[in-house]
Structure 1
Amino acid sequence: MYKLVLVLFFICFGLQAQELNCSLTINTEQTGLSNLQVFRTLKTELTEFMNKTTWTDLNVKQQERIDCSFVIIISNIDSDYFTASIQVQSSRPVYNSTYNSTLLNFNDKQFNFRYTEFQPLNYNPNSFDSNLISVLAFYAYTIIGLDADSYELGGGEPYFEEAKRIVNTAQQQVTDGWSPQSGTQTRFRLNQDLLSPNFREFHDVMYAYHRNGLDYMADNPKDAKQSIAITLELFNQMYASRPNNFLTRVFFDTKAEEVKNMFSEGPQVSISNLVDMLNKVAPTKSAYWQQIKL
C-alpha cells in the first residue's frame, strides 16, 4: 500500500510543471562593461527563475509551455543598482500549422532594479522582495493571462488578478511603473485596463481573433479572415467610449504586421470598412494599413 501511495504521489507531482518556456537576453552595450561576470550570472539566474518557477496550479505538459522572451537592456550600473528597460514578448501556436502568433510585444522603460551577484531569486506572492522579482513575476502572470484569454473567453482574469496583487504590493515600495503617477503606458495601466470592465471588448477580441479566426486559418482561410475582420471591428466600440486607449495600442503594437500580412495575402475578403477602422483606431500603424490590398 505504501508503494502504491508513493507511486501515485510521484505521478501527481509530475503532472504539475512550469508554465513558461522563456529565453532571456541581457544587452549591456550601453554600459561599456559587457564583459562583467555579473551580467552572465544575472542572465543564468533570471532564466532559471522564469523557467523553473511554478506560477499556477495548472497541469502543463512540456509541449504546452508558453514561448516567451525577455530582452533586458542595461544602460548603466552603479554598484548594485541597474538602470534598464525590458522588452517582453510571448506567442502561442496556431492550430494545424507551424505558425506562432505573437500575443504580447511590450517595451517597459521603467525597469530599474538592485541586484547582487548570486542573490536568491524566489517569488513570494505575499511580500515585496525586489523590483527585479516583482517585474518579472508581473509579466509572467500577464503572459499566462493573455495566453489563457486566447483559448477561453475571459480565461485570463485570474492571472491578471495575480498580477494586480504584485502591483499593489510593489507600489508600497517603489513607484516607477507601479503607480498611477508613473505615466500612461506602464505596468500599472496595463494591469488596470486588463481588469477594467470598460475594456471587456479587448478580451472578446483576444479570444475570437485567435480561437475563431487564426485557429481555423488552415481549414478555411477565407472564412477565418472574414471572422477576424469582423472581430477587429470591436475596436470601434472601445474607441467610441475610450479614444486612443492603451490596450488598443498594446494590441496593434503586437499585431500590426500580422494583420497587414493576413489581409495582403491569400483569399480576398471585403475589408474596405476594416481598413478605414484601422486607420481610425490605430493611426500610428498607418504604414502597415497602406500595404493592405483592398
Structure 2
Amino acid sequence: MIKIKLTFLLLFISLASFAQEFNSVVTVNTNQTGKSNLSIFKTLQKSIQDLVNQNTWTDNDLEDFEKITCNFFINVTEYDSDNFTATIQVQASRPVYGSNISTPIFNYKDDQFNFSYTEFQPLNYNPNTYSSNLVSTISFYIYTILGIDADTFSPMGGTAHFQEANLIVNTAQQSGRQGWQSSDGNQSRFRLNSDLLSNNFTKFRQVLYVYHREGLDTMHKDVDASKNKIIESIDLLKQVNSSRPNSLLLRTFFDAKADEITNIFNGGPKIDLTQVLNDLRRIAPFYNNKWGSIKN
C-alpha cells in the first residue's frame, strides 16, 4: 500500500513538473543596502524563483526544451523593516526551431518596483485577489512574457495572456503603488500592458510572428528567405514608428533584439541591406553604433 502511494505521488510530481512553463533564474542584488548578509534576501530570492518555476500558469504541456527561459534581476537599493526600494530587470528567451539556440523575446527594466516582504511570507498568485505588490509585479511579467512568446508562434496568439496581465493591473491599482496607474508615465507597467492590447499596435504584434516564426524559425531551411522575412518585419516596425514614434514597445523590442539583428545581417549569405539599414537608423537611433557595424 505504501509503495502504491509513493508511486502515485511520484507520478503526480512528474506531471506537475511537465506542465510548468518556465526555467527561471532570480537574482536579488543587495550590495547598495549595506545589509547583504541578512537571510531575508536569500529567502526572498528563492521564494520568487519558486513562484515562477513551480506554478502552472497556463494549460499548455511543454517539454523541457520548449520552456521559456527568463531572468529576473532585482536590484535592492534600500531596505528597512521589510520595505524594499528596488528596480527589476526582466529578460526572456525562447528556443529557435531547427537549432540549438535561443532568441531573446523580452528585455525590460522597471524602475517603479517598491514592495513589502516578510521573511518566509508565502507568495501565491490568485487572479481575483491582490495580495502584494511583489506577487502582482512578478505575475504581471509572467503573463506579459507568455503573451509575447505566444505572439511569436501564432498571429496575435498572446491576447488571452495580455488580458490576464490587464486583470493584474486593474486589481493592483487599489494598492496605490507606482507602475499600475495611467498617470505613472510612459514606461510603467500600465503603459506596457495598454499598448500590447491596443489596436494601435496590432502591427507591432504582427512583427513578433513574422520575425520569429516566419524568419528565425525557418533559418535552418532557407537563410535568404528568412532574412527577407526579418527585413519585412522591420518594415512593419517602420510603419508603427510612423504612427507612434519612439513608443515603449519599439524601444523594448530593440533592447531585446539589437545584438541579434546585427549578428543576423552580418552572417551568412549577403543581401542588399541599404534600405533596411536606413530604416533601422530612423527607428532605433540609440543603436546606430550597432547598425554601423553591419557590413552591407
Normalised TM-score (structure 2)? 0.93
- Give, as a single letter, the amino acid of the residue that structure 2 aligns with 1:34: S
1:233-262 per-residue CA deviation (whole Å, 9 max, x = no partner) reads: 001211121111111111001101111111
Instruction: Give how far 1:64 is off.
Output: 2.2
Q: Is the 8 A contact 1:21 1:68 kept in 2?
A: yes
Q: Is the 8 A contact 1:17 1:62 kept in 2?
A: no
Residues 25-36 of structure 1 mapped to structure 2, 5 A cutoff? 25-36=27-38
Instruction: Give how far 1:99 is off.
Output: 1.3
Matched, 1:205 2:200: no
Greater helix share, 1 or 2? Answer: 2
- Give, as a single letter, the amino acid of the residue that structure 1 aligns with 2:149: D
Q: Is the 8 A contact 1:74 1:82 kept in 2?
A: yes
Q: Is the 8 A contact 1:175 1:182 kept in 2?
A: no
Question: How far apart in 2 are the matches of 1:127 and 1:270?
Answer: 53
Large movers: runs of 4+ above 6 Å? none
- Give, as a single letter, the amino acid of the residue that structure 2 aligns with 1:210: H
Question: How far apart in 2 are the matches of 1:266 and 1:59?
Answer: 35
Residues 91-102 of structure 1 mapped to structure 2, 5 A cutoff? 91-102=93-104
Worse-superposed segment, 138-147 or 240-249: 240-249
Question: How far apart in 2 are the matches of 1:17 and 1:63?
Answer: 13
| Structure 1 counterpart of 2:40 | 38
Residues 158-237 of structure 1 mapped to structure 2, 5 A cutoff? 158-237=160-239
Instruction: Give how far 1:211 is off.
Output: 0.5
What's the secondary structure of 2:156's corresponding residue?
Answer: coil
Report the identity percentage.
48
Matched, 1:288 2:290: yes
Question: How far apart in 1 are the matches of 2:294 and 2:201?
Answer: 27
Instruction: Give how far 1:226 is off.
Output: 1.4
Q: Is the 8 A contact 2:281 2:287 kept in 1?
A: yes
Q: Is the 8 A contact 1:160 1:191 kept in 2?
A: yes
Residues 240-255 of structure 1 mapped to structure 2, 5 A cutoff? 240-255=242-257
| Structure 2 counterpart of 1:14 | 15
Q: Is the 8 A contact 2:87 2:112 kept in 1?
A: yes
Question: How far apart in 2 are the matches of 1:270 and 1:290?
Answer: 15
Residues 253-272 of structure 1 mapped to structure 2, 5 A cutoff? 253-272=255-274
1:149-201 per-residue CA deviation (whole Å, 9 max, x = no partner) reads: 11111111100000000000101212411111111111111100000000001
Count of residues in Structure 1 that have an aligned counterpart in Structure 2: 288
What's the secondary structure of 1:292's corresponding residue?
Answer: coil
What's the secondary structure of 1:110's corresponding residue?
Answer: strand
Instruction: Give how far 1:40 is off.
Output: 0.8
| Structure 1 counterpart of 2:119 | 117
Q: Is the 8 A contact 1:22 1:69 kept in 2?
A: yes
- Give, as a single letter, the amino acid of the residue that structure 2 aligns with 1:14: L
Question: How far apart in 1 are the matches of 2:133 and 2:150?
Answer: 26
Instruction: Give how far 1:65 is off.
Output: 1.8
Matched, 1:50 2:67: no
- Give, as a single letter, the amino acid of the residue that structure 2 aligns with 1:106: Y
Q: CA RMSD in A?
A: 1.8
Question: How far apart in 1 are the matches of 2:62 and 2:230?
Answer: 28
What's the secondary structure of 1:193's corresponding residue?
Answer: helix
What's the secondary structure of 1:212's corresponding residue?
Answer: helix
1:82-132 per-residue CA deviation (whole Å, 9 max, x = no partner) reads: 000001000011112121100001011111100000011100100110000
Matched, 1:137 2:119: no
Instruction: Give how far 1:14 is off.
Output: 2.5
Q: Is the 8 A contact 1:82 1:115 kept in 2?
A: yes
Residues 268-279 of structure 1 mapped to structure 2, 5 A cutoff? 268-279=270-281
Normalised TM-score (structure 1)? 0.94
Question: How far apart in 2 are the matches of 1:174 and 1:266?
Answer: 51
Question: How far apart in 1 are the matches of 2:173 and 2:184?
Answer: 10
